[in-house]
Each structure stands twice: as C-alpha cells, then as structure tokens.
Structure 1
Amino acid sequence: MKISKLTTNISLKRELESGNEEQLKTVRQVIADVRENGDAAVRKYTEMWDGVSLEDFRVTEEEINEALQNFDPQLKKDLEEAADNIRNYHEAQKREGYTLPLAHGSYLAQRIIPLDSVGLYVPGGSAAYPSSVLMNVIPAQVAGVKRIVITSPCGKDGKLPPAVLVCASILGVNEIYKIGGAQAIAALAYGTETIAPVDKITGPGNIFVALAKREVFGQVAIDMIAGPSEICILADDTAYPDEIAADLLSQAEHDKRACAILITTSEKLAKAVSEQVEEQLKQLPREEIARASIENFGHIYIAENMDQAVEAVNTLAPEHLEIVAENAEKVSEGIRHAGAIFLGRYSSEPVGDYFAGPNHVLPTNSTARFASGLNVDDFIKKTNIVYYSEKTWEENAPKIARLARMEGLEGHARAVESRGWKKGEN
C-alpha cells in the first residue's frame, strides 16, 4: 500500500457513479416499458440481462421449503441469532409520538405512522448478500411496516440463493420476486400485474439499479444511493499489523472501487501493515478485486499525533471507522463524522456487517457528514396535528390574519377571519 505523511487534502471521495448517457437512456427506457407493459417488460429484460426466462417470477412456498431443507442447520442458527441481535438493537430506536397541551383545551401533536409497504432490493451477481435481507427487513418490521417485498436477481437456474430465502423465512417474509436490475426498481415503484407498488425502496445494487432509484424518486421514497464500500482504521503502535491488514482487505474485497485507508501515528505500524496487505492479498480468493481496490483507492497515512489523525477522520467522514488504539473510547469522542464506529481490537468491522446488531447499511462517499445509517426512522412518517378550541382561535386569529396579509395572501387571512371575530361576534 502507498504510504505518505498525513496532509490536509486527504479525501476518500471517488467520482460518483452517476452513469453515462447511454446507461441513463437505457434505464429510462426500461422504466417507461415496465410502466406501460408491466410483467411482459419485466420478463423481457430479465431474459435479456440475466439470461433466464421466467413465466412466474414470484418465489413459491416450495422453493422456500427446499432452501430450508437443504440448509446447514448450524448456519441457520447463526442467522437466527444475528436476526435477534439486529432486532434488539433496532427495538431501542422506536419512539412514540407526542402531544403538547395548550391553554383552553387546545393541543398540538405529532403522530408516528409506519409506511404501508416497502421494497427491499437484494443484490445478486458476483456475490449474494443474505445479510442485506436481515439489515433491511428488520428495521422495517420494528417500525410496523405491514407489507415487505423482496426482489433479487436469480441465477441461470431460475432460483435465488438458498441463504436469501432462509433469511426471508426466518423473518416471515414471503412476497419475494426473482427479478433484479432497473426492471425490478420500476416494478416496485409503479407496479405490474403481479407486483403491487410500494411506498419506499431500500437496498444497494449496480449502476443500473442506482440510476433507476434516482429516476423513480418522488414516485416512491428511497434510502440512499450507496457507493462502493469503504473503511478507515485509526491505529497507534498498540495495534497488530496482521489484524489491521486483514480488516483493510475485508472491505477491499467488496469492489474494485472500494476504499481502504489506515491513519496511524506509528511509522513502524504503517510499514508492517503495508507488507502484511501484500502477503495476505496473495491468499485471498477475491484477490483480483481486492488488489484493484488497494492499488487505486488504498492508502496509509502517518499522522504527527492522534489529534491530527482524528481531524483527518472527520474530514474523510468514512462509512466504517475502526479505532484500534490505546483509550479507543476516549479517542472516539472526537469523531463527528462516521457511518459506524468500531472500538478496540476485537470489534473488527465484519462484526457489525453480520452479527452485532447495528445496521450495516451506511452512508458512503463522505456523506456521513450529513447522513445516518439505515434505521427505524427510515420506515416511518410523522404527521403533525393541530387542534384549536374556539377560545384559542379567538385569541390568535387576528395575529394569524395579519401575518397572512404581510405575505400578500389575502385568502389565508379571510379563511381565518371567516370564523366570526371580524363580524364583531367576539
């Protein structure tokens, strides 16, 4: 890995995958086709791009049962325990609405209402991500969403990965469709003969999925446009080089555009980690992907002191931040911008990816400056409530009418005045 002294222009920003004109044209064509032709268009593009012809693209109960029967029992127990951890963490995020009493029996209130329906996109292709099922479905269930739909591209055999179906079964989700790409996003947003539309779409995907989510935003809500994964590790000389290298590669293996950065106060650690990364790359099954990530977006920075290192992290605003240093918890108090923080030697980032409980759907590309990870609030909406009694109206109507006229909105003023005080009744 490249090693250099820490400077003020440190950045993990990569050019956003905004797509080229041809890709955008294709996505818009797909969306228009699905809106007009429904299931037929979905089948056409699934055959064209995924190489599989599907008459019925909804997963059957028999397919789910087959996945359960052939699945490793121990692995299923592990998934169930992970699901329990994730649910417990997200249960703590639930909140009630509130009522603010006013004089004369009036009140203001806010009501928390779950979304009616959400669609979860689970990526396919080079890797299956059943953990995405857990991380997206559970907060929606905790929020109280009644209808949860899963879409995911199937293999050439017309089936979804067993682990995806097992996770869905553990969570009690049975509306699952074997479709992916822009056609799946369009189907979720606008509906087809088979798929009823949803209110929000969550989950990552390739460039066509990302562009489709951008295009349908407004018709439905979306979670975020997720970029390639990234990790930043903040370490001092108490860290073990082989462990730090392994953690960097845990994210580099995701994607050729993934970003892995180490910021350290120890020059000795920097050199040792660089050597370890090269050694471990040679033994990694996804070496080609990880090596491209490390060569193009990996870096080791040597900071003069921990304060400088912490400020650099805040500049980066990384998706994942590990702090492997003496007094890691104290160091973390200076972090303002990070999607998730992992403290200490034994809190390796994959602990959060799969098992600990916090959500692994996190802001990328430095958007942790203003964005949060997926949570229960993403699956609710808040409705404001106003109740004015006659007495409260009497006291405030003249003020409201004056404010309306200040803005040149006579109709607003008259709407308030129409209740009677202008007629001398009060």
Structure 2
Amino acid sequence: MKTHVKVAAAAVAAAGLLTAAGCGSSSPAGSGSVSGSGGGVVKLSVLTGFTGPDGPSYQALVSQFNASHPTIKVTMDIQPWDAIGQKLPAEWATGQGPDLATPNFDPGVIFNYIKTNSVLPLDSSVGAADSQINASAFPPAVTKAFTVNGHLYAVPANLATVALYYNKTMFTAAGITDPPKTSEEFVADVKKLTLGGASPTQYGISLADHQTIEMWPILQWMNGGDIVGPDGCATIDSAASVQALSTWAGMVQNQHVSPVGQTGADADTLFSAKKAAMELNGPWAADGFRKAGIDLGIAPVPAGSSGPVTLASTVPMMVAKNTKHKEQALEFLSWWTGKTAQASFSKGSGYPPARSDVTVSDPNVAVFAQGLPTARLYLAGLPTSSQIDTDIYTPLLGQLTRGADAQKSADAAAKSINQLTGCKS
C-alpha cells in the first residue's frame, strides 16, 4: 500500500525491503521459462511498488500461492513506484516486461495503459465461482473505478479505508468519553481539544493538504459536497463543498486546530509526538502510533449530513496484454482476490479484505472494513485525475488555509477542472 505520503507506496501507508528477481525490461512479456515434467512449471513475474513495511504481507501471499499451485511459480519484483512509472509503460506498450504489475498507487493510472492497448481485459475470468474473479464482491466504488467501457481491467491488489485515529489520554483529559459520531460532534471536539490559543500546545486534529492521502475530500463528502460529479463537471463550487471547505479552512487558519500546510509525514509526526488529538489515517499507521506510546483509539469517520462516508484507497493489479501466460495470470488474480487469500492477507497485514463477504475478527481491522460499503475513491474514473489533484485541488487547499475567499477560489478551481475534463455545462 502507500504510506500517508503520496510517494512510492510510501503504505494506503503504508508505507526497500524485499527485492525478488523479476522479468528484465528487455525480455518479452511473460517470457519466463517453462521447465519440469508433466507439463512443466510456468513462471510468472509480478512487478509491484510495495516497498514499505507491509511488503512482507504481499510476499507471504505470493508464497502461499506458489505452495498451493505447483505448476505455477510467481516471483514478485519490488521496485519504487517512480521507477515503475518510468519503465513499465514503454515495456508493456512494446510487448515486454512483467506478466502482471501494480503500475501505481493511483487507480486512475489504468487509463494510461488502456489508451496504449497494453493491458489485458479480465472479462473472460469474471464470475462467481471460486476459480474466477468475483468483481461483485469488491466494494462498488472499486469495481466501478476498474471498469472502463464495460470491461474490467484491474483487480485490487489491496484495499484500505480511512478511519479516525484519536488519543484516548487527550480525550479523557478533556472530559470526552467517546469519539465523535457526527460531523457536529467532530467539529466541537476538534475545537475543544485545541489548547493554547494562537500558539497551540495541543492541536485538535492533524490535517495535511499535500503529499498525503486525501483528507479534505472526506470533509467535503461528509457535508454532501464533492470535487467532480459523475458527468465530469466540477462540483467543487457547490454550496455544500464551499461550506465544508470554508468551515475547516477557517478552523485551521483562525482557530489553529491544525498547523497550516502540512504534508502527510508532518501530520503523522505531529500525532506521533502527542501534539494532536486526532488524525484521519489508514490501517498502515496503527502500529507506528502504538509504538510511539499513544493510547490509541480507532473509530469510524463521523457521519455527516449525507450519512457515513470515508475514503477508499486501492492499488490496481493488471495483466500485460501480451503476456504469454494469460491463463496462469488470470488464475493468479482469481486466487489473489478469493476469500481464502483475502482472509489471510487481512490477518497478516492489518488491512481489510478486498471483498465484502470476508469476515473480519480483529476489532481494529473491523473498523476499516466497516467503512468499505460507503467508501469512495478520490477522483475515480477520471483520466485527468492526477492533473486535477496536482494542479488544482492541492493548490486550492493551500490557498484556503491561508485566508483566500472560499467561494471565489472554488469558482476559479471549478473553471480549471472543467477545462481539463471537457465539461461544457
């Protein structure tokens, strides 16, 4: 997964560890040798960016597959996301590289590979049988994001949601017995837990606005707002969105509930140092916070006026269009997303399973799994998602938390978004 920082599965924060030999960049896709008797052993190469502390969990899953599939040998090659992004597009476009890959931690990257016709549609393997990819078992937002023009092009290599982390000691000191359950309680608790006035000794929440998992869209969704609508037209300038952005930006700037301009790493450090009472984060962060000595509580994101909602984070796993081992690659994906594998991965990694029909026994993991049915992906289904994030939305947050007028700034952002998406309304 990725860490709180939007870089090299910098793992959903997760956060180099293992590096297994994979198919070289000069080799044809799926050119692994076939050896052995009785039909031989097919060698599959999988390129991933899981360089963080959750890396062993993915490697363990690969080992389980190999142990239960004696005629298929999967090797996972782990490289930084930046390196994958630099070489994989050209490799797959020319029929070279690994059989399977997680091209990026951003689901929107699938459009780049579909455009170059270098990724295999998975439709032939979709179904409800144990030996098939049961796309209907994935959260609807994930299946929708990975389906383009009616074809499924990826499966979730992992899945996570964002929950509310809170410092129980700080809550007790403030006389707060339970984490907030509604957006009104959330705002009130953030203010109450901010101590020290203009020079806080304790922040109510640690918010980040760049190089991070997406926190601010959750605050908009809670209020019924969004950034872009299903038709590709901007909704960042809607009344609900502007109200949410204005409220929270005003709290940051004027009531000092969180430092201005934090990266994801900054936000994590502040919470770890026991200088903030709350943070929005994913399952990858829990162990680190506990090791920092925090009496940690994890609760669902408070429900807003539009009901419960949170952020979903997933990494797409895809098959090269020109793999020489299509049947085995699809078998691997079917197994990876099956009930047994997902239950095992969830237990070992602390992530919720990628399927909604797998029971979670760990209460901490259950909090993240609880959010899956209503979780939403950030800027899902938009080929221009990376540009919107980098060039428009992230700068907007920086402007707002430094005092810019919310409506005027949102109007300007909406105009820029519509230019990128081609919205004519």
TM-score (norm 1): 0.25
The answer to which structure has the higher helix fraction is 1
Give the alignment's TM-score, normalised by structure 2: 0.25
Larger gyration radius, structure 1 or structure 2: 1
Greater relative contact order (Cα < 8 A, sep 6+): 2
